[in-house]
Structures are given as C-alpha cells and as structure tokens.
Amino acid sequence: MKDWKPTANLKALRLRADLYALVRRFFAERGVLEVETPVLSAAGNTDPNIESFALRFDGPRTAGEATRWLRTSPEFPLKRLLAAGVGDCYELGRVFRNGEAGKRHNPEFTMLEWYRVGMDHHQLMDEVSELLKSALTLAGRRATVRDTSFRQLYQDKFGFDPLLAPEEELRSPLQVYGIDPTGLTRDDWLDLLMTHLIQPTIPNNRILLVYDYPASQCALARVRAGDPPVAERFEVFLGPLEIANGYHELNDALEQRQRFEADLARRRARSAATPAMDERLLAGLPKLPACAGVALGVDRLLMALMGTEKISDVVAFPFDRA
C-alpha cells in the first residue's frame, strides 16, 4: 500500500496550526467565548441540499434516541447556548456532509462558526473581513474588500434584476454550457450564474461580501419586508472560493418550524432521508437574543491562503486516505 502518506506537506500543516492560533487570539481579544458542542445529535439537518451521515447507537434505550446524525454544522447547539444566555461564542471543529467529495470537497472538514449578540449581518460582515485580512498576513498577502448586494452584483454583471427577471432571462447567459434544465428551479439558475460566471472572475486579492439574498434562499435568516422581500444573509468569497455564509438570525420559532416542514416536504418528494427536526432548538429559539452568525470553511480558507484548488493539499489525510 503506497497511499499511507499525508497529501498535505509540512508547510500546509504548520499554516493550519498558525491559523487556529490566530483565530483563537482574534476572538480572545474580542471577548468571544470558545465552546464545544456535540458532534452526534438526535436531530439532523433538514436542508434539502445537504445530506447528513446517520449512525446507530446500540447502548441502553434510556440514553436517548438510537438514530444519531453527524453534525453538518454546530449551528443548532450554538443557538441553544445563546438562548441560555452564554453570549458571544464560537466553535472551531469538525463537521460532516455525506456525498460531498471531490477536488474542493471532503466529507469531513473543519468549520469555524461564531455568533455576535446585538449585531446585524452588516456588522458581522465587517468582522469577517477583519478576520480574513488577519489570516492573509500568515501567507504574506493582502486583499481589497468589496461589498455589494446580491441584486446589484447581478445587475452589474448581467444587466438584469435577479429578483424580478423571468427565468428565461436567467438561463440565457448559461446557454453555452448546455445545462439540462430538467428539475432546475429559479434558485438553481441563480446559483449556476454565480458558480459559472461570477466566482471565476473574482480576483485572488479580493474579499467580496454579497448580502441581501432572495427571500427564497433565506434558510435560517430573517426576511426583511420590501418589494420584493430579501433574506438578511451574506456570503463571503476570497478570490473565486466561497469561504463563509452568514445570517441575521431568525428567532421566530413558528416561522422556523414552517421552514423545517417545507424542507422535509421537499425531501420526501425526492425520496431522500428525513431527519428529525430539532425540537430542542425550536423550544429555545424564542429566547435567542438578536444576533448575527456566520460559518466559515477553514479548509477553503487554507486553500485560498496557499493558492491551491485542491482540498487534499491542506488536509493531512483526505477521505480516500482516511
């Protein structure tokens, strides 16, 4: 067997260690508490676009539900801590997503997620920028920062309003790719425009923050009324790599339950797994303080720092060598 060696070199391993130290200093200076939450949960992620690993616990039934899900994010337990009054907090740890493997994806990866009480998504965007600029110094690099609304970004690039344009107009710039439209939704076409035509054009020395997404892409974010309404969420790109995804967090338990139910309905229609809703999160959500939160892919950030498109260059042992 010849594949016993790590795929990441010593420089990459040291850079990861340096980044972890920088992250912990960054938050210690700001009074943000590092916490640790469960990797296994009785509830799973209902998002139709994310698949969880399911495991079975064979111990005593009194210990809890036998079916457990490897977390795809620490979001739900972190919000329960916030609802309990812990205050600003973060977690740096491993998360898992089934079916995501390839050049830029590994089923097991490292996520940095944090929440700031009293902030909205714009204030948190500023803090994300500060963290990324600090991280870039580890590689002797600098970057310019640009922020723009989702609507303005697409209007500047394509000349149409992504929130109001007919679907046929969204498809037009992608005709050259010969994409099969079967089963694709309006949001799918918007995502394809981003991944195929916007992200590849972002300069490597640019931090791009895109905010106020279509309300249909709200996930766990608040929706702001307007014509049309928009989701108070943002995504962060360092060069062409998507690095982070953040929200002005929803704390309406009824609306969140309805979103979970809609997710599960879509899953049932696809004959996909239907994880249990997180009832403990829903019970605590009314006590969640006004806050903003963000999840940052640490491996993606390391890839950007090293100038590589392969996740195997920044993890010691990727999935095929684990």
Q: What does the pLDDT look like over 292-307, one tens digit per residue?
A: 999 999 999 999 999 9
**Number of helices (H), then strands (E), in the chain:** 9, 12
* Residue 119 domain flag: yes
The sign of the dihedral angle between the CA atoms of 97, 99, 105, 107 is: positive
> Which residue pairs, CB below 8 angstroms and at least 24 apart, start in 140-146?
141/205, 141/305, 142/205, 143/205, 143/206, 143/207, 143/238, 144/205, 144/206, 144/207, 145/206, 145/207, 145/209, 146/206, 146/207, 146/208, 146/209
* 3-state class (DSSP) for residue 308: coil
* Residue 1 domain flag: no
Per-residue pLDDT at 219: 85
Helix/strand/coil (H/E/C) assignment for every residue in 72-114: CCCHHHHHHHHHCCCCCEEEEEEEECCCCCCCCCCCEEEEEEE
CA separation for the pair 160, 169 (Å, rounded): 8
Residue 65 confidence class, pLDDT cut points 50, 70, 90: confident
Of how many residues is the chain composed? 322
What type of residue sits at position 77? Answer: P
Tell me the residue range of the domain where 105 lies.
Answer: 10-321
Contact predicate 115/82, CB 8 Å: yes
Residue 53 has pLDDT above 90, yes or no: yes
* Residue 5 domain flag: no
Query: What does the pLDDT look like over 20-43, one tens digit per residue?
Result: 999 999 999 999 999 999 999 999
Q: Please tell me the total count of domains within the chain.
A: 1
Residue 215 confidence class, pLDDT cut points 50, 70, 90: very high
Paired sense of beta strands 206-214 and 230-238, if any: antiparallel
CA separation for the pair 239, 82 (Å, rounded): 32
Residue 61 has pLDDT above 90, yes or no: no
* Residue 206 domain flag: yes
Per-residue pLDDT at 100: 83
- 67, containing H or E segment: strand 67-70
* Residue 41 domain flag: yes
Give the closest residue to 230 by CA, choosing from 118, 120, 149, 148: 149
Query: What does the pLDDT look like over 305-316, one tens digit per residue?
Result: 999 999 999 999
* Residue 4 domain flag: no
- How much is the average pLDDT of 199-222? 95
Query: What does the pLDDT look like over 247-269, one tens digit per residue?
Result: 999 999 999 999 999 999 999 99
Residue 183 has pLDDT above 90, yes or no: no
CA separation for the pair 31, 28 (Å, rounded): 5
CA separation for the pair 83, 222 (Å, rounded): 17
Per-residue pLDDT at 93: 98
pTM, two decimal places: 0.95
Dig out the tokens for 114 from the structure: 């944090």
For the domain that residue 133 is a member of, what is the CATH number? 3.30.930.10
* Residue 196 domain flag: yes
The sign of the dihedral angle between the CA atoms of 4, 8, 14, 16 is: negative
Residue 63 has pLDDT above 90, yes or no: no
- 210, containing H or E segment: strand 206-214
The overall average pLDDT reported for the chain is: 96
DSSP-assigned letters across all residues of 137-165: GGGT---EEEEEEHHHHHHHHHSS-TTTS
* Residue 293 domain flag: yes
% of the chain at pLDDT higher than 70? 100
| Contact partners, residue 64, CB within 8 Å, separation at least 6 | 42, 57
Dig out the tokens for 165 from the structure: 């344009």
Q: How far apart are the first and last CA of the chain?
A: 13
Residue 241 has pLDDT above 90, yes or no: yes
Per-residue pLDDT at 122: 97
Beta bridge partners of 116: 292
